Amino acid sequence: MQADLATYIDVWNTKLTQYLRSDTVTQPCERMRKVMAQAPVGDDAYGEDESVNRLQDACKQLFQVEDALFVSSGMMANRLAFMSQTVPGNEVITEYSYHVNFFDSAPMAAVAGVVMNPYRTDDGILRPENIEHALDSKQRYASFAQPKLVSIENSINGWAGKVFPFEILRNVYEVVQQRGLCLHLDGARLFNAHIATGIALHNYARYTDTLSVCFSKSLGAPYGSMLMGRKETISKARRYRLWLGGGVHQIGMQAAGAHYALEHNLKRLADDHQLTYYFAKRLREVPGIKLKGETVETNMVHFTLDPAVGDSEAFLQACAAQGLLLFPWLPSVIRAVIHGSVTRQKLDQAISIMQENLRNMRRAMCYAAVGNEAAGEDPTVNQLLEEVCALLGKDAAMFLPSGTMCNGIAYRVLCQRPGDLIILDRTAHPLQSASLIAGLVQAQPYVIDGIHGIFSTQQIEPVIAAPSVYNLARPRLVSIEQTTNLGGGAIWPLDTIEAVCQLAHRYDMKTHLDGARLLNAVAETKISAADYAQHFDSVWIDFSKCLGAPMGAVLAGTQAFINEAWYYKFQQGGAMHQAGILAAGCLYGLKYHVQKLSEIHLRTKQLAKLLSQLSFLDLNLEAVQTNIIIFEICHRYLSAFDFKQRLGEQGIRVLALDSKRIRMIMHLEISSSAIEVIFNAIHRLAGDLKS
């Protein structure tokens, strides 16, 4: 029998590895079970159960209240609080999302005979002015329900475990007293609020008439809640408990479990909160998932799914089939609750299950509408072009397989004759493309030595303003890279762009923006892509870099420019047929990944700060602006090529620019935990060098 029980518990715990639907599923530990098995019991209906009395006395002391009553559930505690402080026909003022209204308005009407007056707030916090408005917004005729009770909740289930601010609680209690009402605090997860804020539990009790707490949620007991308040109120509640069938006899074993949880599991809630912060951080990295609210305060997260990545009901069913249970809070909102049975490893598994069932970009690509792109008839490509034109403020655009093709076609359209000069920085990517300028475009590069890939009008004006001579190449085009690649992800200031482009246009030159990472600049500076692009005759953005699409870029300009560009697109083999599948990935990246670029930049700077502490690396932190880090290896026995090889052996790929310099680029798939892995690998390498 013991073996069968152990097997049952093992199987049940296995089911719980991904149980995030609620914190009511926490399992009693072995020590709690022993305490429960050995608990002294009596008839609690007569007040003679020693274990119950001990628990009630402990709560009276902890909360500094006159009396306490052990009941079977939080819902019963709320019912009794209402029944003890109202009469049938009274009105209860509460917030719309609180449990007593959202789930319990019908039972409260049936059992307590009260009428709910729910007030909708913008943040779940019922404030004094809300209560005043609920009281005074209508006449109180004799036939109307008379207000008697205000009910609040802490932490707030419907707002992802938000903590009800203590100062507002005090102000609410003051108004409630002034208006001759009573205040009930539904503290099903008050212990979480207590741990999150450090505010003593007795301070919460001080500013309420009744409050309830639950032992069977985060504290991990299998059963029970406590209702507390004045002796007169709790005496009524004890009588009503019998009415509701809550008078239990030998309930001491359950009370002993609750008492154990109160003494041993309260401080552990901080671990749940830390895991919740971690889970929220991981969720923010999942495309198609958006967290409700900016901060996580206790042990809950609420999130939504973008309809483009799947239906929430189908998503929940698919996750459940793989053992991950989540709660459908609203048709479009999903709740996850962290509890004592959850570990970081289990949360990582949950994230993997969710990612698999979203199918995000791949799903969008699979079901994309397609047509003949070469004839302008692919609806998904056309949608992408419309969105990019709006983004860049350009009249027309074309879809191309790569950024290199964008540069090549733009250069060919804008350079009028063989031998024309294209002015660009020495670090510019087109100079790294084999024979792009000389071979394909039949132009010549005029190289400027800028700072981190950025040059000034003073550097280019001498060549632009030089007198035209028949036997010399004529400067035709200024090409700028935003952000700079081999310049280390530096951002061209908008005023520098304006000055350079105005100078070029004054001398009848054309301007081109290589926007492979333009959206990184937008994310960092909050300057719109259109503001950057307005000064250029042609501009393109890439989707296979920062936005994570498999391939694709869009070149934009005037309608006349794009009309001519089509000639070279066909000539270079860039015309495609059913390209909508590829364009769908680009659209997905544009919709869901742009907002993640700031996070990528933050992680890049975090890694750079860590690396700057290593003595064998020379890294300028001020030069790290977006998602690229470039540093020098300063060790007589280690070259950049050796560094690259050693990291590659640990599964970390970097680029050696030369024998001294390394480039690292952060992207969507580099998480915060991956930063630790990267740094630790480099730190170990430093240790190997010392030995």
Cis status, amide bond into 404, omega within 30 of 0: no
- In this predicted structure, the answer to whether residue 608 has a pLDDT above a threshold of 90 is yes
Distance CA 437, CA 138 (A): 77
User: Closest by alpha carbon to 529, among 552, 569, 563, 497?
Assistant: 497
Provide the edge-to-edge strand list for the sheet that holds 146-153. 67-71, 225-229, 210-214, 182-187, 146-153, 90-95, 115-119
Sorting pLDDT into bands at 50, 70 and 90, what band is 3?
A: very low
Model confidence pLDDT, tens digit, residues 163-198 = 999 999 999 999 999 999 999 999 999 999 999 999
For residues 399 and 384, the answer to whether their CB atoms sit within 8 Å is yes
Sorting pLDDT into bands at 50, 70 and 90, what band is 65?
A: very high
- In this predicted structure, the answer to whether residue 690 has a pLDDT above a threshold of 90 is no
Model confidence pLDDT, tens digit, residues 460-513 = 999 998 887 777 889 999 999 999 999 999 999 999 999 999 999 999 999 999
Q: What DSSP string describes 621-662?
A: GGG--SSEEEEEE-BTTB-HHHHHHHHHTTT---EE-SSSEE
Model confidence pLDDT, tens digit, residues 322-359 = 889 999 888 778 999 999 989 999 999 999 888 877 76
Distance CA 465, CA 426 (A): 20
Q: How many residues are listed for the chain in this entry?
A: 691
Give the 3-state secondary structure percentages of the chain, helix then strand then coil, rounded to 5: 50, 15, 35
Model confidence pLDDT, tens digit, residues 527-576 = 999 999 999 999 999 999 988 888 899 999 999 999 999 999 998 888 88
- In this predicted structure, the answer to whether residue 5 has a pLDDT above a threshold of 70 is no
**HSE (CB half, 13 Å, CA atoms) of 503?**
22
Q: What domains are there in the chain, each with its CATH number?
A: 20-264 (3.40.640.10), 269-358 (3.90.1150.10), 373-592 (3.40.640.10), 596-690 (3.90.1150.10)
DSSP code at position 325: B
- In this predicted structure, the answer to whether residue 435 has a pLDDT above a threshold of 80 is no
What is the pLDDT, as a whole number, of residue 7? Answer: 36
φ, ψ at 557 (rounded to 5°): 180, -155
3-class SS of residue 517: coil
- In this predicted structure, the answer to whether residue 433 has a pLDDT above a threshold of 70 is yes
Sorting pLDDT into bands at 50, 70 and 90, what band is 207?
A: very high
**End-to-end alpha-carbon separation of the chain, Å?**
58
How far is Cα of residue 114 from the mean position of the Cα atoms in its chain?
Answer: 40
DSSP code at position 308: G
Model confidence pLDDT, tens digit, residues 118-146 = 999 999 999 999 999 999 988 878 888 99
Distance CA 394, CA 576 (A): 22
What is the pLDDT, as a whole number, of residue 332? Answer: 78
User: Closest by alpha carbon to 389, among 525, 530, 587, 584?
Assistant: 530
Model confidence pLDDT, tens digit, residues 653-673 = 999 999 999 999 999 878 777
Sorting pLDDT into bands at 50, 70 and 90, what band is 42?
A: very high
- In this predicted structure, the answer to whether residue 10 has a pLDDT above a threshold of 50 is no
For residues 521 and 482, the answer to whether their CB atoms sit within 8 Å is yes
User: Closest by alpha carbon to 195, among 262, 258, 273, 261?
Assistant: 273
The amino acid occupying position 679 is: F
User: Closest by alpha carbon to 492, among 425, 437, 563?
Assistant: 425
Model confidence pLDDT, tens digit, residues 581-592 = 899 889 988 988
CA 383-389-390 angle, to 5 degrees, is: 90
For residues 187 and 207, the answer to whether their CB atoms sit within 8 Å is no
